[in-house]
Structure 1
Amino acid sequence: MDFTTAGFGTALRDERLVAIIRGTDAEASFRTVMALAEEGVPLVEISLSGSDALAVIERARAALGEAAWLGAGTVLTAEDARRAADAGANLMVTPGLGAGLEESVRRGLPTLAGVMTPSEVIAANALGVSALKLFPASVGGPAYLQALRAPFPDLPFVPVGGVDAAAARAYFAAGAVAVGVGSPLIGDAADGGDLAALRKRAAEFKAVCAR
């Protein structure tokens, strides 16, 4: 598998789903990562704002091996990027522009950069990011994505924030290359909740995201 920036772009277009884990229980978060992998959801982001996130990333990397995508989310600072990479993350996700994004790009890591405005899209694209995380997407919804794509028709946008199954369909219709999904997919699984329900939701989202 190709874990370069180009490889991430291909994976986004093929899978069209990034699962976002922000758990209060490190053991449950790890189990959530593994359940998603078993259900065929290979693009997973573990938010650094979750409990013991770096340890979860390190443990998941050891379990999944090198041939797997494993993202770190909420990368704010250069130190966040360095520590996440050292833990085994090979994808960096940021809520916006800043030192964390710049360090990730400097390291040559695939990046999903948080943007909201046209100016931020221009700045992120100039850095050479892999894809653009439209966040918080719920503020403008699919109509805003459609409007934003008018001046940037060829850039890969990934709406994140409040994306349930119905919203995912609408974002795809508006031109999203993929969607990032947190609680509508993860539910309470990363807090110690029901893994069987998570597996069911994963199958449902995979069906929504299938071409």
Structure 2
Amino acid sequence: MVSSAELVQLLRAERVMPIIRSTASEDAVAIGRTLIDAGFRVLEVSLTTPGALDAIAELSEDPRAEIGAGTVLTATDVSAATAAGASFMVTPAVTASIEVSAAAGIPVLAGALTPTEVLAALERGATAVKLFPAEFGGPSYLSALRSPLPDAPIIPVGGVDVESGHEYLRRGALAVGVGSPLTGTGPVDLTAISSRAAAFRALASAP
């Protein structure tokens, strides 16, 4: 399992973390494999996906990428996701599962929006903070948030496309989490995902 320090280093290098939500486990696996083949090395699979644990188990067998479990709410979620092979946890808010993960040495990206929530997440042991929903305030809000908290490792999530992703990174985000602007909506189109992946991968080398 990756350590918290290693995950932060990997996210800083990768700059983009795809978030997979699907209506079926097999679709999540197909999307994940396509993204790994495209070069992504850190991926999140939301537990809201039916059969998410099976998808995590399959994808975690690929040594090229670290697979995290998203929408983690409880200690039971942490245990189940860890057993399935998840390398890290992602929460949608400040929950008790943050402390459960931290106590077990499992990296956790904790959802938060306000300065109070960001500090609460970090105090509970979060490896980094998932700024969610980031579209609530956009890149300018990230700048305002980082003014009193310049050292907080923050990953904006929610409505992040290539243009806003570049702006978040320019304003000091550790990385950005990207869902449907990368993976699409409706029927799974792996060719389209591969095409969009190239544009998002380019953010890793953007100034």
- Do both share a fold (TM > 0.5)? yes
- CA distance in 1 between counterparts of 2:93 and 2:108 reads 11
- CA distance in 2 between counterparts of 1:84 and 1:145 reads 30
Task: Give TM-score scaled by structure 1 length.
Answer: 0.93
The residue that corresponds to 1:7 in the other structure is: 6
The amino acid that maps onto 1:162 is: G
- CA distance in 2 between counterparts of 1:10 and 1:92 reads 16
- CA distance in 1 between counterparts of 2:183 and 2:42 reads 13
- Percent identical among aligned pairs is 46
1:105 offset after TM fit, Å? 1.2
The residue that corresponds to 1:72 in the other structure is: 69
The residue that corresponds to 1:120 in the other structure is: 117
The 8 Å contact of residues 78 and 102 in structure 1, kept in 2 or not, is answered as: no
1:152 offset after TM fit, Å? 0.6
1:202 and 2:197 are equivalent in the alignment:
yes
The residue that corresponds to 2:105 in the other structure is: 108
- CA distance in 2 between counterparts of 1:145 and 1:174 reads 7
The amino acid that maps onto 2:28 is: S
The amino acid that maps onto 2:15 is: R
The residue that corresponds to 1:176 in the other structure is: 173
Relative to structure 2, which stretch is displaced further, 104-113 or 69-78? 104-113
1:143 and 2:140 are equivalent in the alignment:
yes
SS at match of 1:177: coil
1:169 offset after TM fit, Å? 1.4
The residue that corresponds to 1:37 in the other structure is: 36
The amino acid that maps onto 1:169 is: H
**Count of aligned pairs:** 206
Task: Give TM-score scaled by structure 2 length.
Answer: 0.95
- CA distance in 2 between counterparts of 1:161 and 1:173 reads 17
Instruction: Report matched runs for 1:18-57 at 5 Å.
Output: 18-57=17-56
1:192 offset after TM fit, Å? 4.6
The 8 Å contact of residues 25 and 192 in structure 1, kept in 2 or not, is answered as: no
1:104 offset after TM fit, Å? 1.2
CA deviation profile, 1:130-189 (whole Å, cap 9, x unmatched):
11110000001111110000111011110000001111111112211110000000114x
1:41 offset after TM fit, Å? 0.5
The 8 Å contact of residues 16 and 203 in structure 2, kept in 1 or not, is answered as: no
The residue that corresponds to 1:16 in the other structure is: 15
- CA distance in 1 between counterparts of 2:155 and 2:42 reads 13
Structure 1's consecutive aligned runs of 4 or more residues displaced over 3 angstroms after TM superposition are none
Match of 1:155 among 149, 152, 155: 152
